[in-house]
Amino acid sequence: MRGTCKKLAALGAMLVALAGCASFADKPFADMPREPGRNLVEDTGQKPLQCVPYAREHSGVKIFGDAYTWWDQAANKFARAQAPASGAVMVLAGYAGPERGHVAVVQKIVSPREIRVDHANWLDDGSVYINDPVEDVSPDNDWSAVRVWNIQTGNWGGHSYPVQGFILPSQPAPAIPRPGDGLVARADIPGDNK
């Protein structure tokens, strides 16, 4: 009996020592974006901004209509690609039904599997999200599925979204003001919500 208690005590001490070696703090940091970005959620209190007029105004891609129609509309008008490029418009479609889409302007390529985008109304709040991390999570590393950093929670979003592709601008994208340069006011962005 005494030997069994000593063995159990030794086993317990070993488990405590091993638990001290396991670092749970390493996991969240390993899952963070590769490069820290300066994210901004802009809320001017004005009429909420939709992703379509924002992308149209801040890229060289001048397409009108719902976001889910952009990929098809771009055919024979703009170059389309399956990989991101700075200034291109990333098109997400069909992630919440066949008539639900989202467009975002690619600002920077951080790595082969991570980019930064500027976009509006991502969380259905009408805000503009600047320098928001986006990560390729497709099984074939082909940018067919992504997840987006959730600025409000400080974590990657819990869903992956299908990507139709990237529409390349026909002209250089206009410079986008960055935090510290003055915010983009919703009233300064013309266009309808679609």
> Would you state the pLDDT for residue 99?
84
Mean per-residue pLDDT of the chain = 76
Residue 24 has pLDDT above 60, yes or no: no
Of 17-26, 40-49, 52-61, 135-144, the one with minimum mean pLDDT is: 17-26
The model carries a pTM of 0.70
> How many other CB atoms are found less than 10 A from the CB of residue 114?
19
pLDDT tens column, 156-190: 988 999 999 999 997 545 555 544 444 333 333 33
Residue 33 has pLDDT above 70, yes or no: no
| pLDDT at res. 133 | 94
What are the structural domain ranges in the chain? 37-188
Q: Which CATH superfamily is domain 37-188 in?
A: endopeptidase domain like (from Nostoc punctiforme) (3.90.1720.10)
CA atoms within 13 A of residue 131's CA, in its CB half-sphere: 12
Of residues 23 and 182, more confidently modeled: 182
Contact status, residue 54 vs residue 191, Cβ threshold 8 Å: no
> Cα separation of 99 and 48, whole Å?
20
Higher pLDDT, residue 141 or 98: 141
What CA–CA distance (Å, rounded) separates 119 from 89? Answer: 10
